[in-house]
Amino acid sequence: MRLEAESLSHSYSGKQPLEALRRVSLSIPAGQFVALIGPSGCGKSTFLRLAANLLPVRSGSLLLDGQPPRAAVAQQRVAWMAQSPALLPWRTVRANVLLAGQIQNHGSRPRLDAEEALARVGLSDMAGSYPAELSGGMQQRLALARTLTLPASLWLMDEPFAALDELTRERLAGELLGLWQPIGATVLWVTHNIHEAARLADRALVFSQRPGSIVADIPIPLARPRREADPDYQSVVTSIRTGLGMAETGVSS
């Protein structure tokens, strides 16, 4: 799915209105894996919520394959995954994976059926267990399996593995890449981890501090899997770090 934003701004109303995004314009071609990186509270999650139709677009425009987010969500073309695995504790692992299909009424259209999705994330043996019996990493795998059943062509991922330990996070990210590549969905991946962005993405968008705008657009034309020792990888890390430095100074100036 192609994503185009034009002068997209967003403010949270309240006693003290908070400007979260200011005039963000960008274009993301279909199938690109894009990391949104920036300091905390820079509006990257707001951007994602706007794309998922969890927030209304009030200023500027945001189009997903030429449609407003509401229409894309109604057509079940968008998948959402956040830091919390968001599992229903009263449903078994299998029933949690099936839930999305029951809500969206996929019928014959699921990308993967529940058993296959669970097999892909290595949870087949746990299908009859309850989420409370799973470790944090397994819970996120389960959330990933649920995402894999959706017929979506845009994956919006808001720091999905941020609550996990470093090792589990790296392993899951690797698994995610393997699962994503044959599907080729467009991915917007929010992170504040430079290496995560450099390892996973085709492109890194660096957000400034609040109100968020894009201060650097860094292409990452490296083949996967990427090695940290590779000098090209190191130069990508350096550019992202420089971009983040600009994000910091952009506010202090």
Partner 1 sequence: MNGGRTWLPVALVGGFLAIWESAVHLFRIPLYLLPAPSRVVWTLAQNLTPYSQATLLTMGEALAGLALGVLTGGLLACLLVLRPGAENGVMTLAILVKSTPLVAIAPLLTLWLGFGVLPKVIITALMTFFPVLVNILSGLQRPDPALVDLFQSWNASRWQIFTKLRLPASLPYLFAALKISAPLAWIGAVVAEWTGASGGLGRMMWLAYTNLNLPYMFAAIFILSTLGMGFYRLLAWLESRVVFWQPVTVEEERV
* Least CB distance to partner 1 at residue 53 (A): 7
Interface segment toward partner 1; rule CB under 8 A; list 25-33, 102-110, 178-186, 207-215? 102-110
For 135, residues 6+ apart whose C-beta sits below 8 A from its C-beta are: none
Q: Which amino acid is at 81?
A: M
Task: Determine how many CB atoms are found less than 10 A away from the CB of residue 68.
Answer: 15
Count of chain residues binding partner 1 (CB under 8 A): 26
If one asks whether residue 156 binds partner 1 (CB under 8 A), the answer comes out as yes
Residue closer to partner 1, measured from CB, 108 or 252: 108
Nearest approach, Cβ of 111 to partner 1 (angstroms)? 14
Edge-first strand listing for the sheet containing 3-12: 18-28, 3-12, 59-64
The residues with which 10 forms a beta bridge, in sequence order, are 21
- Pull the structure tokens for residue 145: 């399996």
For residue 42, what are its two tokens? 């820079």
d(CA 124, CA 11): 44
Q: At closest approach, how far in Å is the CB of 100 from partner 1?
A: 6
CB 152 within 8 A of CB 163: no
Least gap, CB of 73 to partner 1 (angstroms): 5
For position 14 contacting partner 1 by CB under 8 A, the verdict is no
- Rounded CA separation 88/80 (Å): 16
Q: What is the 3-state secondary structure (H, E, C) of 219-246?
A: ECCCCCCCCCCCHHHHHHHHHHHHHHHH
Q: Which is nearer to partner 1, 22 or 49 (CB)?
A: 49
Stretch that binds partner 1, among 16-24, 94-102, 107-115, 232-240 (CB under 8 A): 94-102
> Which helix H or strand E contains 251, and what residues bound it?
helix 231-252
Choose the binding region for partner 1 from 9-17, 49-57, 115-123, 232-240 (rule: CB under 8 A): 49-57
Q: Closer to partner 1 at the Cβ: 129 or 168?
A: 129
Q: Is 103 in the site for partner 1 (CB under 8 A)?
A: yes
Q: Does an H or E element contain 139, and which?
A: helix 136-149
By beta-carbon proximity to partner 1, the closer residue of 33 and 80 is 80
Among 12, 61, 88, 165, binds partner 1 (CB under 8 A): 88
Q: Does 126 bind partner 1 (CB under 8 A)?
A: no
Interface contacts to partner 1, rule CB under 8 A: 52-54, 73-74, 76, 78-80, 82-84, 86, 88-90, 99-100, 102-104, 130-132, 150, 156
